[in-house]
Amino acid sequence: MKRRLSGLGSTVFLLFGFFLLLLLLTNSQIAMDGIRQGLSLCTETLFPSLFPFLVLSELLVARRAGEVLGKVFFHPVSALFGVSGSGATALLLGMLCGYPVGTSTAVALYRQGELSKEEVKRLILFANNPSSGFLIGAVGKALFGNSGAGLALWLIAWISAGLIGIFLRIVLGKVPEIAKTPTNGIQKPPSVSDFTGSVTRGLYALLQVFAFVLFFTCVASCLTPILSILQLPVGVNVALHGLLEITSGISCAVTMLSPADAFRFSAFFVGFAGLSVCLQLFSIAEDLHLRLSPYLLAKVAQGGLCLLLADLYLRIFQPHFELTECITTFSQNVIQQRQSILVLLFLPLAVLLISAFQKLASLKKEKRLLR
């Protein structure tokens, strides 16, 4: 039976590959336009907004800042989500910086020996959501004309993620803590290699993100003429774009639907995140060989929760939307607003500096004792 299922899966995958190849060959000009659009998104939006955070998260992990954050957030995080104090580092950075920073931090902590594979598997199910700068500035202010709506989307995303994390804690229990080798307060002092290695690893993770964004913007562009021929309902058209890529889905929702329906669809896309983000995360965590089905199930559930919370928000607050169809304005606001979140770098940077000073002070004390 398993062999039959495996053979069926291989056949479906092969047919899907031929379908994509035919799609690209018959829409070569549209495919090139999609690649150009993806390149613009990568260079003008993703690079300035994601790269600093990816480098900083790698640097924090290299300097073992997770130990400092773990001491502060261990008790609430462990009680709510059943993960360790080090897991709080990935959770916090994912909340501040957006995906894929949460996953890249968790994977880096795993490679440092501070997280187990089981804990990474748990975190990846709920610790990856869009950043506050993207939702408040780019989506809320630029597309809906209401920054409060963007703030509501960010809160909805993390409330739903928290509910998923609590549910997993209740059903699966607490993740067993990994056995750590005691350092006795001794750690090598900061060096240039910590920074250079963080920059290299951050750039490599960003290139992985670029690859999936380019591919999915290309596929989405090629699907557009087919969808127009099929004359599918507007909601189905928007849903297909959002399931592939979150930014494309939200843009289509704003330009094709009523303000309230656009907000509801956007909330679901924020929770689900899209297949592009899904594959970005699994590419970063490739060496862990994680299963795709639990992640998709968790994200569909989170998307449903986001949809319910968004509907509740609309009924209670009845916000006023001023939708704009100018996607150029949307792209520009993504850059401006997501760069403004760089102010939040001071928080983890302060933790990094405190950790470094503590380690240097302990080394000086040890040298004095040896004398």
- Tell me the one-letter amino acid at 50: L
d(CA 334, CA 338): 6
d(CA 367, CA 253): 63
pLDDT at 332 over 80: no
d(CA 47, CA 64): 25
d(CA 275, CA 212): 9
Closest by CA to 281, choosing from 120, 61, 169, 161, is 120
Q: Output phi, psi for 173, to 5 deg.
A: 80, -175
Express as a percent the part of the chain with pLDDT over 90. 18
pLDDT at 138 over 90: no
pLDDT at 362 over 70: no
Tokens 């829409």 — which residue?
27
| 354: confidence class by pLDDT, cuts 50, 70, 90 | very low
d(CA 101, CA 91): 9
For residue range 104-123, list pLDDT tens digits in order.
888 888 888 888 899 999 99
For residue range 204-219, list pLDDT tens digits in order.
777 877 888 788 778 7
End-to-end Cα, the chain, rounded Å? 71
| 13: confidence class by pLDDT, cuts 50, 70, 90 | low
d(CA 233, CA 317): 29
Residues whose CB is less than 8 angstroms from the CB of residue 7 and which lie 6 or more positions away in sequence, other chains included = none
Q: What is the pLDDT of residue 123?
A: 92
Whether the CB-CB separation of 156 and 310 falls below 8 Å is answered with yes
Q: What is the pLDDT of residue 215?
A: 82
Max mean pLDDT among 58-72, 165-179, 253-267, 297-311 falls in 297-311
pLDDT at 172 over 70: yes
pLDDT at 298 over 80: yes
pLDDT at 5 over 50: no
Q: Is the overall model pTM greater than 0.85, yes or no?
A: no
DSSP state of 136: I
Average pLDDT over every residue of 232-243: 85
Q: Output phi, psi for 347, to 5 deg.
A: -65, -60
| 66: confidence class by pLDDT, cuts 50, 70, 90 | low
**Range with the lowest mean pLDDT among 103-112, 130-139, 159-168, 270-279?**
130-139
More confident residue, 235 or 63: 235
Whether the CB-CB separation of 163 and 305 falls below 8 Å is answered with yes
For residue range 239-293, list pLDDT tens digits in order.
888 888 888 788 888 888 899 999 999 999 999 998 888 888 888 888 888 888 8
Closest by CA to 174, choosing from 80, 278, 66, is 80
Q: What is the pLDDT of residue 368?
A: 63
User: Where does the chain have alpha helices with state H?
Assistant: 2-26, 28-41, 47-62, 65-81, 85-97, 101-111, 117-123, 132-133, 147-172, 192-230, 234-244, 246-256, 259-272, 274-284, 292-317, 327-340, 346-370
- The whole-chain average pLDDT of the chain stands at 77
Average pLDDT over every residue of 138-150: 84
